[in-house]
């Protein structure tokens, strides 16, 4: 269970610029990481890299504490940080990058959301590049079908969310600690981003 159900509850206990940061480059086509930094490690870096590669905009809510960042996780159907809601609402294409724990050797990506065509294209691109990926089953935790999910609140009322296992994300960086991830990305990370860029360019 999340500690906070809304952003208003979170900001009463945490200081922006100290405990967390928000980074935005708004465009019609957006990549978002609502659980970036230390909340779901590696999702911020993937979002930035893919935005650079594709020219898409980005929104990152980034936990910056030395520990306890998971406390700042607000589930996607409750995520209501005003800037995030605004930039997604103005977008026509939205991709959300998330992370989940998975088993120790489970290297995969679960693809959810309401944009069925982009989900299939994303699945094909990742599998063609040699990554293990699958479409989330309807009604499961990662299906991302709820219209209240932040990724589906764009102009088309549909987006795509990627849930990437921890073991897979750890393969993307030589050093997985918060200050060093961006500068230690691996060839596998670049291959993953390249595969996604074929769909979202």
pLDDT value at residue 180: 83
Provide the 8-state DSSP code for 66.
Answer: S
Q: What is the DSSP track for 99-139?
A: EE---TT---EEEEES-HHHHHHHHHHHHHTT--EEEPPTT
pLDDT value at residue 179: 82
Could you read off the pLDDT of 10-27 as tens digits, one per residue?
Answer: 999 999 999 999 999 999
Residue 21, classed as helix, strand or coil, is: strand
Closest CA to 20 of 58, 71, 56: 71
pLDDT value at residue 178: 79
pLDDT value at residue 47: 98
Residue 80, classed as helix, strand or coil, is: coil
Name the stretches of the chain with pLDDT < 70: none
């Amino acid at each position: 269970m999340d500690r906070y159900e809304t952003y208003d509850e979170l900001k009463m206990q945490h200081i922006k610029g100290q405990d967390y940061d928000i980074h935005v480059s708004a465009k019609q086509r957006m990549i978002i990481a609502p659980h970036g930094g230390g909340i779901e490690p590696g999702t911020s870096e993937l979002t930035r890299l893919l935005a650079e590669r594709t020219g898409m905009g980005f929104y990152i809510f980034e936990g910056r504490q030395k520990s306890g960042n998971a406390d700042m996780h607000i589930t996607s159907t409750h995520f209501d940080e005003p800037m995030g809601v605004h930039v997604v609402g103005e977008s026509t294409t939205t991709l959300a990058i998330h992370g989940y724990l998975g088993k120790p050797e489970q290297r995969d990506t679960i693809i959810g959301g309401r944009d069925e065509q982009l989900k299939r294209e994303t699945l094909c691109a990742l599998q063609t590049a040699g990554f293990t990926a699958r479409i989330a089953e309807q009604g499961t935790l990662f299906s991302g079908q709820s219209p209240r999910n932040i990724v589906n609140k764009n102009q088309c009322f549909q987006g795509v969310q990627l849930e990437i296992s921890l073991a897979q994300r750890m393969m993307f960086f030589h050093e997985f600690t918060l200050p060093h991830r961006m500068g230690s990305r691996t060839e596998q990370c670049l291959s993953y981003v390249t595969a996604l860029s074929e769909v979202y360019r």
